[in-house]
Structure 1
Amino acid sequence: MTEIEYRPRFPVDDDELSALHAKAFGSTATTIPWARRLERHSLTWIGAFLGDRLVGFVHVCWDGGAHGFLLDTVVDPDHQRRGIGRRLAASAIAEARDGGCEWLHVDYEARWDDFYRRCGFGATKAGLLRL
C-alpha cells in the first residue's frame, strides 16, 4: 500500500475537495470555492494524499495574531481509522505554532470528543449561535 503524504498549502482543486467533503458528510456534492476561501482566510491547510488522490483535509483559519481555529477536518470514509485524521491535526498544530499562533481552538460535536482529546485538545466551555 502506498504511504499517505501530507502536503501543506497544496494547490486546491475545488471539485476534488468538495467531493471529499460530500462523501465524508453524506451530502450532495456541490462545488465550493475552497481555493479562494483558503487563500483569503486560512493561515494554512493540509491535504492527505494517497498517490495523487486527496483522502483527507484540514485547515487553520486565524485572527492574524495569537488565535487559530482548526476547521473542516475530514477523512474519506474508505480511509478512516488509520490515523490520518490525527496526523492531519498534528500537522495543522505544528503549522499554527510555526505561524505564530499561541492558541488553537476547535469546536466539534460531542461524538468527536475522544478524537480531539487524542489530538491534544482539552475541553472548554464555549458559546455557539446558529445564524
Structure 2
Amino acid sequence: MRVMVLVKATQDSEQGFSPSPDTMESMAAMGRFNDELRAAGILRMADGLHPSSAGKRVAFDGPDRHVIDGPFAQPNELVAGFWLWEVRDMDEAVAWVKRCPNPMPGPSEIEIRPLYEMSDIA
C-alpha cells in the first residue's frame, strides 16, 4: 500500500526556514528518522516545501484559469512537507508516524492518505 504522509503547515513553518541550533537539531532528528524509514524499505520519497508565500495556485472554472499568488490563509490547512511510503497497511503507516519526531517547534499534525492503486479504479 502506498501512502502520502503530509506534514501540515503551522504559523512557524509559514515564516520560512531559519537555521538556529533548535532547528538544526530538529532537522538532524528528522534525518535519523528518514534513515530508519529507508533502512526498513518504506521510504520512497521525502521533501519539505517552501512557505506558501513562494507558491501560486491556479483556479479552474470551465475553460478559465486564474492565478492566485501566495501566501495562503489558514496554515493548518496547508502542507509543509511530505513523504511517500510503501507500507503493508494503514496500521503500519500510523505506527511509523507515531515514531516520528515532532516536525514543528510547537503543536503539529501529520496526515496519512492512501494513494489510489489501479485495483481501486478497476
Q: TM-score, normalised by structure 2?
A: 0.28
More contact order relative to length (CA 8 Å, sep ≥ 6) = 2
Q: TM-score, normalised by structure 1?
A: 0.27
